[in-house]
Amino acid sequence: MSALDWKNTVLLDGKAVAAHRRARLASEVLEFRAKSGRAPGLAVILVGDNPASHIYVKNKIKACEEAGIASFHIPLAATVTQEELHKEIEKLNTRNDVDGILVQLPLPKGLNETAALETIAPHKDPDGLTSGNLGLLLAGRKRVAPCTPFGVMKILEHFQIALEGKKAVVVGRSNIVGKPMSLLLQEANATVTMAHSRTKDLASVTREAEIVVVAAGQPRFLGREAFGKGSVVVDVGIHRVPASETLLIGGKKSSICGDVRYEELLGHVQAITPVPGGVGPMTIQMLLENTLTLSKLGASL
């Protein structure tokens, strides 16, 4: 891939967008503290010893500190029962210093993630994943939107990518990304198609789109053949590559990849999110922004 090809594609740098928004968020948090007499509070429940989850939680705690949000780390053993987990969540539901409760996923085998999430009071759900908050989103009266798709929307907004009247395809139909992503794009007046593992001739569907959000959960799933020239591609996937398969992208080695074959799209699409450094940083940023939103609603500020 030549230097010219690289320059022809705009990199949608989510890390830079998050940093820009973090500075503004810190100012808003200070304003909230002045009015309410306390900092917004985010509690994170981490069950077990999943290494990736530990890294994610560490990053979230650091982000809270940067924004001036109080963070409460609740570590639980992998042997915790469903009932014990629910009791911990219910305790947090009643705490006045906690505005948001996050249960770090995935949970250890044997624990029901849906049941755990539904135990979170909807007004303390910064992930926006309880049925109460998803229902409000569907009804067009959102309290908060799920962090990853909300972050995608803010990336597109930051780079002034018009959505109204555009053809958009969302690949993936999970409650965490795919479904709410389609709703947010529709709210922005895009014409949205949802595609998934059972879609026939998926590449022919995505090629017709001007905006494609890929949340398939499969590493390097789609390449140049699946995207129209000049389209905008948002890659939600993030996967660790085995050491024996380390990638060479743009002359640099990478042990992380997304759902698309990034290097094939440079110079072909109008804009693309890198992995890492694209959607991931914005997911954490929107978690913080949602926490502040919930704290304001709780304090009626």
Residues with Cβ within 8 Å of residue 96, at least 6 apart in sequence: none
Catalytic residue among 13, 60, 99, 142: 60
What gap in Å lies between CA 286 and CA 148, rounded to an integer?
8
Q: Is 285 a catalytic residue?
A: no
Q: Is 13 a catalytic residue?
A: no
Catalytic residue among 13, 104, 235, 270: 104
What gap in Å lies between CA 137 and CA 149, rounded to an integer?
12
Q: Is 60 a catalytic residue?
A: yes
Catalytic residue among 99, 125, 127, 259: 127
**DSSP string for residues in 222-282:** B-GGGS-TT-EEEE---EEPPGGG-EEETTEEESEE-SB-HHHHTTTSSEE--SSSSHHHH
By annotation, the residues acting in catalysis are 60, 104, 127
